[in-house]
Amino acid sequence: MTELDLSLRGQAAAIAAGEIDPAALLDAALARIEERNPTINAVVETFPDRSREMLAAAPEGPLRGVPVVIKDEWPLPWRAQRFGAAEMFAHTEPAESGPYRALRDAGAVIVGVGNMHELGASSTGNTSVYGAARNPWDTERCPGGSSSGPAAAVAARLVAGAVGADGLGSIRFPAAYCGLTGLKPTFGRSALDGHHAAAVTETIVSGPLCADAADCRLFGSALFGESLEGGDASGLRIGVVRDTVSEDVAPEVGDACEAAIEALRAETGGEVKEVELADLAPATMSGVLIINAEMLNGITPAQLNDVDPELSPVNRGFVKYRMLLPVAAVAQAKRMRALMRRRLAALFEQVDVLAWPTVPAVAPPLEAPLVELPSGTLTADQANVRGGALANLTGIPGISTPVGFSSDGLPIGLQLQAEWGRDELLLDAAEALERANGRRWVELLSPLAAEGEPTEA
Amino acid sequence: MEASNRADEFVPAGMASLGIEADEIEAAVMSAAHQMFWPGIRELISTDLSDVAPERNPDLSKPPES
């Protein structure tokens, strides 16, 4: 246990109190990345001189001197993003992105760039131009995607906080797979500038991945540019939807989430209500269609015929298939979005949060990311998107919080979603759930973080 | 006429019409993607949403205007 193993808020407080030398903390983070990262490939680049320059210039902000990781989805002033890919079909160059500015202005020190699934195109994290990131709980398992590196970096305690991006669940999925808390903010509340799709996206947001809700609150405040004040989740009205998102899940996941929902109800003195939310399947497809249309980003057939051969075969084929998505379906998707937004607005008059498993099964093997569900065998992407897409389609916030472990020692996550702008309530609810569980799920360390030694790959 | 879901017809025809080339592996990926996506696309397109008023320039950070 070192100062680097303190929580994000613990590191920030200790630095502010003069109990930790932030230069020593930065050196410790760089040393730990060198030591542990080869096992998990979470961090794809460090830049010690740039990090030391950030520290030297760090203002007296809430994260002053705290080392953090940022996903390979935004440029830095000294590095263009690669989007985890040999070719990302967009112009990129080094720049001050919104998340970079937010972190810099909060006093944080960017110590490295986090790996990600190639082109952000999967919930698994098993494909990247840098090689796959690995899950610190089991290095043969997927860390989740697309924010694979940020999640793995925090779960291995290389850093205490990392910036991810979420367009269909890409913060919440790796949070669930890696036993972390991950917040997908309300659309537009967190810094996004500098993202190559910032001008067109109606789905993608930046957000924090941390060990627990209090750290997400502090990190999220930096990304939001406003303090996410703690509140009171007393009397929480928890909505449960009896649909594939809660029913077609692995039994261990379903049981852990049911128990967590009941624990949250008891802790808050609230109530659980079964609610109707029809058309989740076409709503999911709507989210998929809208983000894939956004990602077309002006690509021409000529560009596709000259695609970089280093791009994975799956994505070479998939970016070409995107060109065939019918505009009639995209138009219908936007009408479906209007319908779901109205239904959710009505629903959030009855309940404060919706709760269902973040992902229906624990992290699958990297080599074969398939999951066994009551309905049969599905690819992890097919299964995961069903629970993730609604928040991105409609703009509402969502959070994944750890609620247990499978019999083979892999984390299970519960997702809570709330009305637009009620990100703070999600953090309050996640903190209540942590209290209800005696914080045991958020304080457990992955084998890599606990032993400080590489696990066998 | 019965709707077709056949990737071996749709994908090559679509690629050819756009002048997009694909090697064998890419074609297999596109076929798999089509098998995965098309049933959901068909379901979405077939859903009667004619009485759903579209949102004009929706602000996705807020609830819909009533």
pLDDT band at residue A454 under the 50/70/90 scheme? very low
Which pLDDT score, from 0 to 100, does residue A457 have?
Answer: 35
Interface residue B51 vs chain A (CB under 8 A): no
The string of pLDDT tens digits covering residues A119-132 is: 999 999 999 999 99
Is-catalytic flag, A51? no
The nearest alpha carbon in chain B to A378 belongs to B36
CB A243 within 8 Å of CB A277: yes
Q: Any chain B CB within 8 A of the CB of A395?
A: yes
- The amino acid sitting at A73 is E
pLDDT reading at A226 higher than 70:
yes
Per-residue confidence (pLDDT) for residue B3, from 0 to 100: 54
B44 vs A289: CB contact, 8 Å cut-off? yes
Question: Looking at the predicted structure, is the pLDDT value of residue A82 above 50?
Answer: yes
DSSP SS3 for A93: coil
Interchain contact, B34 vs A313, CB within 8 Å: no
CB atoms inside a 10 Å sphere around CB A258: 18
| Cα radius of gyration (chain B) | 17
Lowest-confidence segment of A165-169, A176-180, A339-343, B27-31 by average pLDDT: B27-31
What was the pLDDT predicted at A335? Answer: 97
Question: Which pLDDT belongs to residue B48?
Answer: 94
Q: What are residue A398's DSSP bridge partners?
A: A184, A417
A388-A389-A394-A396 Cα dihedral, nearest 10 degrees: 10
Note the ipTM here: 0.94
Tokens at A154, concatenated: 């925090």
Own/partner long-range contacts of A15-20 (Cβ < 8 Å, ≥24 apart): A15/A64, A15/A65, A15/A66, A16/A64, A20/A65
pLDDT: which is higher, B7 or B31: B31
CA dist list (Å): A120 to A116, A171, A373, B16: 7, 11, 25, 27
For residues A34 and A452, the answer to whether their CB atoms sit within 8 Å is no
Closest chain A residue by Cα to residue B47: A282
Q: Of B14, B25, B44, which has the smallest distance from its Cβ to A332's Cβ?
A: B44
- Is residue A389 over pLDDT 60? yes
How many percent of chain B have pLDDT more than 90? Answer: 80
Nearest to A301 among B18, B36, B44 (CB): B18
Percent of chain A with pLDDT over 70: 99
User: Taking all residues of chain A, what is their mean pLDDT, rounded to a whole number?
Assistant: 96
Query: Coil, helix or strand for A306?
Result: coil
DSSP string, A3-43: GGGS-HHHHHHHHHTTSS-HHHHHHHHHHHHHHHHHHH--E
CB contact under 8 A, B60 and A284: no
Q: Give A17→chain B minimum CA distance, Å.
A: 37
At a CB cut-off of 8 Å and minimum separation 6, what does A371 contact? Answer: A250, A360, A361, A364, A377, A378, A379, A380, A383
Q: What is the mean pLDDT of residues A292-305?
A: 93
Q: Amino acid identity of A365?
A: P
CA distances from A119 to A54, A83, A122, A205, B11 (A): 28, 5, 8, 15, 22
Residues of B in contact with A329 (CB under 8 A): 41, 44-45
| Confidence at residue B5, expressed as pLDDT on a 0 to 100 scale | 62
Q: Is the pTM of this model over 0.90?
A: yes
Give the pairing type, strands A376-379 and A205-210. Answer: unpaired
Report, as an integer, the average pLDDT of A9-38. Answer: 98
**Do A371 and A433 contact (CB within 8 A), yes or no?**
no
pLDDT at B61: 98
- Place A350 in a pLDDT band, splitting at 50, 70 and 90: very high
For residue B15 the two structure tokens come to: 């690629």
CA B17 to chain A, closest CA, distance in angstroms equals 10
pLDDT of amino acid B6: 72
**Cα–Cα distances in angstroms (integers) from residue A310 to residues A87, A187, A234, A315, in the given order:** 8, 33, 53, 10
Is position A146 annotated as part of the catalytic site? yes
- For the segment B14-27, the average pLDDT, to the nearest whole number, is 94
- Whether residue A452 is predicted with pLDDT greater than 80 in this model: the reply is no
- For A113-143, the DSSP string reads EE---GGG--SS----TT----BTTBTTB--
B50 contact partners, CB below 8 Å, separation of at least 6: none
CA B52 to chain CA centroid, Å, is 20
CA distance A244 to A376: 12
Span A80-97, average pLDDT: 95
Percent of chain A at pLDDT > 90 equals 97
Q: Which of A105, A104, A187 is nearest to A393 (CA)?
A: A187
How high does pLDDT run on average in chain B?
Answer: 90
User: CA-to-CA distance for B34 and B25, rounded, in angstroms?
Assistant: 14
What digits encode the pLDDT tens for the residues A189-201?
999 999 999 999 9
Q: How confident is the model at residue A453 (pLDDT cuts 50, 70, 90)?
A: very low
Over residues A92-109, the mean pLDDT reads 98
In eight-state DSSP terms, residue B3 is: P
CA distance A318 to A4: 40
pLDDT, mean of residues A144-163: 98
From CA A16, how far away is CA B28, in angstroms rounded?
56
Q: Return the residue matching tokens 């992890």.
A: A380
Q: Using CB atoms, pick whichever of B11, B19, B41 lies closest to residue A329.
A: B41
* pLDDT at residue A364 is higher than 90: yes
Mean pLDDT on A204-211: 98
User: What pLDDT score was predicted for residue A257?
Assistant: 98
